Structure 1
């Protein structure tokens, strides 16, 4: 079995010579399933002693941070999830503190936190508590104190949770290595124990995996050393040793992906688990889709089964399994719902929402010259679905007319999640890597083709291409060369104005589409809301920019077509003149 993330931790906190302990620390080591997607959380907070509610602030910070972090979607990456939680926590502390009549009642605390996910450490910090790391004999402080010095002996915090309506958290991510030792301390400890002594006390932990009692004993020793050095503050030390980290294991990946058997091709009347096949919706080289009835509740679903042709293609199987994981977490009327997997099932398949209707591809074929209103209605629904994915940290990466369904009520459903990029999953170690871009080149954004990088603006590019195609039946770019040779720069994407196919569509709509699928990521719309606004009403900035261009730049291909026709006419007139002159002579 591949190694998993394993830590040993221990902490100790005391009020010291003060009447009340305003420090707090916490560690959350969840079950392995949750730890895989969310990691292990550790944090320390030191309530600012000049406020009456310092203890409440520090305890609230550590408990709410961990509780709320583990309540965020497991599809979010660590930085996004922790960042949103800390921003919300800071706002709560600040507003609660401002309700008090006296300034000293405010809820202000330092905060230093770590999330260990997979083989990566994520650090979040504000204030003058600290995080140290001992690695291979090198002892270093990973945080900086957010303080201002006044005079020789007086320092004031310049940044902390609850101090202002917004807080800027320091963020760092770095690889984890077995044997790493992390130390979190309040200033009552590190203010009275020199780094050299901290290093000497921690060094024995690096030699072998310790027991928890041993680590707790060391944390207590660190605090007692500071007390012996005349510390007059609250004191807290939290020690964590990294014993092992996950590593990609191709054999384990193979076992996991092939644990369930791919069913043979099914026919009406066949049963698989508690589903009975009613008919075949689609049968292709990559997968089969059946209409089935759940014999337990008599409801109809679509059952998707991978093709036996791919039973040893781990990248394909990984995408198939990921599709179920993603679809089960998406809950939006414009995104296809996927049911949870059957516990203990022997076969590889997933059960989807049954969508009776047609694909957007068929709709385009059936509507060669649709109205703007019809296209806007479909576009708005697609945007709603893509926003739902964006909120969960997902990028579809294969948006095309074949992956959009329209049911009999006219409701759009985005389907096919096998190529979806999930930020939270991207932080996990992988033994399988995509060697080529996924999706159709006709719709893939240039940055994905060239650099293998995609974000939600890449899906927006694909959407703009689809809207262009809905209106015209054509695509804005000619991709023959890219199909044959690939692309090394965005110069391969040359926009063809919509007016070449639909002169009846207003120019401002064409300009909106051109910006939506601009080859340059930074010149494209940066949000779906911007694109949608420009599709509903003219964007004066785009119009002004267009009108300020020279005639040649505005007319593009049409200019050269006109010029060619004019030159041909002139040549014809000259030829006729020569013939006429010869006859006269």
Structure 2
């Protein structure tokens, strides 16, 4: 199938910098417009820094801040969001600059250290991401005026005295202002150092941009105007005009695979694209998986193709292509790996390592009442696999026993990434709905049924349900969670204690399970590591030997007994009224 190519984000950048009346230019600036797929995953970056004039290391600090940002930002995982990736890179630069200051001749005097202001603008998809530390400024042209969208971190002591309240390299723990703005074609952003914006009025900057023949010429004219107005400082300005924004799909983020036609459904034995299909491993509503042998290498692989019902759905095809892309970016023994293809593909399909073993669903059928220690070991492995997703800002969203494999050596592996939410991909494609429920409802966290997007806490809930089910054969809320579609309904959810089925379980284990599957994500474990720790070691908060209330242990019996008591009370009152009728 052929589709009209999506329009990519395009910009025009003009910039100019000058030492002005100073002997050295301690400002530094830079920009990077990458090709695909980095354009789709990371966007366009523009950065500006102004080293403090009181330090001989100011120029080195500003240059380091900008260069390290532009190189390191594009080296972060494609799965990370812009905010996470940029803030981590800026924080790393801040730590390095602070360390250099501490190694200097006067380590306690920041005014002589590696200190600089820093501003960065990242354009991705249909969003501008702004990062700001210090008294540089980021502006946005609004009609004939210039709107300042960052706030100066300058502390004013008096009319004649002020100092920087925040900068990189001062403490090693810089606070970074962040905001994001929707963008459209024609928008213009301007970045300036104080040598420019303290001496040229905002309306004159807008007029110069409108009048100049090109943005570089406009930048040069604005710097010259600041000099003519008496600016004694270094002067730098960057002007970014958005010429076109992404339309439709964000971009071809996944390479050539995304544009291929889906592979046909074949009946083994069969030959296909250099593979010998031996047998069907799984056939479901979303996909079919074959055990196959790569003809050239003899390697056994799991070859996955899209089902007939979904192959005409662009969103499903994109998710299918994303699954193998995800597998290539996680290197963890508890996550199923992708198998590198031996040749260029003719169709859309996924090739994964073949794992000899069984699903957790099959394992639970064979182990109806497993030992607690066995369950702990399996949950710990599962948690390590899921944490590998979370470290890369991904949420699996479909954790269930069918998507957990146990190989013949007892190694647990997470499989099936078709529902996985990738922060970096969601940002780049405005058509993706992060609140869409893609997982199996029995294991989906309650907040998702209220329209909230999945988070790492949602995966914690799913792992908690799986652990509970392994120990009890049941679900902690039965089938009530998918039907609780309002906040009030979720407040009425009642956890069924695991001690009802396994009365010899330690009370603190039941407490850990209860917390992991709490309906409120803020009351769950913030990380899976804390949950698995509490499954193995008694948490003092759960060690009180409290027998669960009857309502928790057997709700039906509770309501029957309550009805019986109320009935007896009613009969007693009726008897009293008959014996002593009111006059």
Q: Same fold (TM over 0.5)?
A: yes
Looking at structure 2, the residues matched to 363 and 116 of structure 1 have their Cα atoms a distance apart, in angstroms, of 48
Is contact 1:35–1:117 with CA below 8 Å preserved after alignment?
yes
* 1:123–1:316 Cα change, 3 Å: same
Looking at structure 2, the residues matched to 498 and 278 of structure 1 have their Cα atoms a distance apart, in angstroms, of 43
Looking at structure 2, the residues matched to 566 and 182 of structure 1 have their Cα atoms a distance apart, in angstroms, of 73
* 1:305–1:16 Cα change, 3 Å: same
Shift of 1:47: 0.2
Which residue of the partner structure matches residue 51 of structure 2? Answer: 47
Looking at structure 1, the residues matched to 247 and 493 of structure 2 have their Cα atoms a distance apart, in angstroms, of 40
Looking at structure 1, the residues matched to 265 and 145 of structure 2 have their Cα atoms a distance apart, in angstroms, of 59
- After the TM superposition, which of the residue ranges 195-204 and 376-385 deviates more from structure 2? 195-204
Shift of 1:73: 0.3
The answer to whether the aligner puts 1:177 opposite 2:181 as a matched pair is: no
Matches within 5 A, 1:38-437: 38-102=42-106, 103=109, 104-204=111-211, 214-248=214-248, 259-340=259-340, 344-431=344-431, 433=433, 437=437
* 1:47–1:343 Cα change, 3 Å: farther
Partner SS, residue 11 of structure 2: strand
Which residue of the partner structure matches residue 533 of structure 1? Answer: 533
* 1:227–1:341 Cα change, 3 Å: farther
Looking at structure 1, the residues matched to 297 and 365 of structure 2 have their Cα atoms a distance apart, in angstroms, of 37
Looking at structure 2, the residues matched to 5 and 148 of structure 1 have their Cα atoms a distance apart, in angstroms, of 38
Partner SS, residue 504 of structure 1: coil
Which residue of the partner structure matches residue 10 of structure 1? Answer: 14
Is contact 2:426–2:432 with CA below 8 Å preserved after alignment?
no
Partner SS, residue 89 of structure 2: helix
* 1:527–1:247 Cα change, 3 Å: same
TM-score, normalised relative to structure 2 = 0.90
Is contact 1:394–1:422 with CA below 8 Å preserved after alignment?
yes
Is contact 2:434–2:454 with CA below 8 Å preserved after alignment?
no
Partner SS, residue 116 of structure 2: coil
Give CA-to-partner distance per residue, 1:335-369, whole Å, 9 cap, x none. Answer: 01123567752211110010110000111111111
Give CA-to-partner distance per residue, 1:135-171, whole Å, 9 cap, x none. Answer: 3334201111111122222221110000112010111
Contiguous gaps of at least 5 residues in structure 2: 573-583
* 1:344–1:298 Cα change, 3 Å: closer
Shift of 1:318: 2.4
Give CA-to-partner distance per residue, 1:188-218, whole Å, 9 cap, x none. Answer: 111111222122212347xxxx7xxx21111
Give CA-to-partner distance per residue, 1:452-473, whole Å, 9 cap, x none. Answer: 4210000000100100111111
Which residue of the partner structure matches residue 560 of structure 1? Answer: 558
Looking at structure 2, the residues matched to 250 and 126 of structure 1 have their Cα atoms a distance apart, in angstroms, of 30
CA RMSD after TM alignment? 2.8
Is contact 2:293–2:299 with CA below 8 Å preserved after alignment?
yes
Which residue of the partner structure matches residue 500 of structure 1? Answer: 500
Matches within 5 A, 1:512-527: 512-527=512-527
Looking at structure 1, the residues matched to 434 and 257 of structure 2 have their Cα atoms a distance apart, in angstroms, of 16
Looking at structure 1, the residues matched to 552 and 427 of structure 2 have their Cα atoms a distance apart, in angstroms, of 45
Shift of 1:183: 1.0
Looking at structure 1, the residues matched to 377 and 251 of structure 2 have their Cα atoms a distance apart, in angstroms, of 48
Is contact 1:135–1:179 with CA below 8 Å preserved after alignment?
no
* 1:315–1:196 Cα change, 3 Å: closer
Shift of 1:7: 0.5
Looking at structure 2, the residues matched to 182 and 434 of structure 1 have their Cα atoms a distance apart, in angstroms, of 28
Shift of 1:320: 1.0
* 1:435–1:151 Cα change, 3 Å: closer
Shift of 1:132: 1.0
